[in-house]
Amino acid sequence: MSHVGYALACPAGRQPSLFFKKPLAHARGSVCIIWRTVIEFKKLIARLKKAYGEPALPPARGPFELVMWENACYLLPDERRAAVFEGLRQQVGMDAESIWKADQAVLLPLAKLGGMRPETRVFRWREIARIAISQFAGDLDSILELPYDKAKRALHQFPNIGQPGAEKILMLCGMSSGLPLESNGLRVLERVGFGRAQKNYGATYRSVQGAIAEQIPKNAAALTRAHLLLRYHGKAVCRTNRPLCEECVVASDCKFAAKQV
């Protein structure tokens, strides 16, 4: 038996789901669309918090440290990122002047802990320090006094800080204008039913952001909690390959998990 789906206007809070756990007797020979209610965003986050507890904040504090945190390593676990970051803090100092003046012989071994292309990593650390000194007199905290959009543009000057990264840094500093997502959190939300997977990452990101826009909290602390919980769930359970749907605390409300039955 085949089923054909048509694009229809969805009732508020619902979207069409074209998967079937079992054939429906009344649907034989007819078009069939099952309407599935997407879990509310706040309930999703509450369920994740109940499962994992209050998420830990990164050890970096303030814009400069958070930019360095983002550049500490590449494609390695958070534990390694923390080791590189704390090594810099203890052996060099976590401020622009100290990073800029640090000896290559000190920086390079730490950069090697951060994964491939350590020389490039050292260059980026020095570039971060140079920009902070030349553009902000060594005090990147000053951007927190700017309007949100200007603060975000200021962060875009730094290596590896795109739009989501800049938004995340500002959120962690108490400034917010939405929920920044990295790939793990984005994957969780799309699989649950917010937005649709598109041909490219940017389009998927915009689709999910549009779907959650009216449901996300307004204050930075609540947004930070949501960001960290979604990220952890995506890394630990809702993985890209071989997701652990049988262990997922939101599987009963997840369109992706339903397809695995």
How far is the C-alpha of 123 from the C-alpha of 80, rounded, in Å?
A: 19
pLDDT at 22: 37
Per-residue pLDDT for 33 more than 80? no
pLDDT in tens, 102-154: 999 999 999 999 999 999 999 999 999 999 999 999 999 999 999 999 999 99
- Per the model's pLDDT, the better-predicted residue between 242 and 24 turns out to be 242
pLDDT in tens, 187-238: 999 999 999 999 999 999 999 999 999 999 999 999 999 999 999 999 999 9
Look at the pTM and tell me if it is higher than 0.75. Answer: yes
pLDDT at 16: 42
How far is the C-alpha of 16 from the C-alpha of 218, rounded, in Å?
A: 28
How far is the C-alpha of 148 from the C-alpha of 83, rounded, in Å?
A: 31
Per-residue pLDDT for 252 more than 80? yes
Provide the pLDDT confidence category of residue 26 given band limits of 50, 70 and 90: very low
Within 10 angstroms of residue 255's Cβ, the number of other Cβ atoms is 17
pLDDT at 177: 87
Domains of the chain and any CATH numbers: 1-37 (no CATH), 62-172 (1.10.340), 183-250 (no CATH)
Write down the residue that tokens 């951007």 correspond to.
143
Give percent above pLDDT 90 in the chain: 82
pLDDT at 260: 82
pLDDT at 216: 97
Nearest CA among 122, 125, 124, 177 for reference residue 146: 177
pLDDT at 36: 57
φ, ψ for residue 189, nearest 5 deg: -65, -40
pLDDT at 138: 96
pLDDT at 75: 85
- Per the model's pLDDT, the better-predicted residue between 236 and 3 turns out to be 236
pLDDT at 14: 43
Q: Is 35 helix (H, G, I), strand (E, B) or coil?
A: strand
Check residue 24 and report its DSSP letter: -
* Mean pLDDT across the chain: 88
Residues 6+ apart with CB under 8 A from 165: 70, 155, 180
Half-sphere exposure of 79 (CA within 13 A, CB side): 0
How far is the C-alpha of 248 from the C-alpha of 47, rounded, in Å?
A: 10
pLDDT in tens, 47-78: 999 999 999 999 999 999 999 999 999 889 99
pLDDT at 170: 97
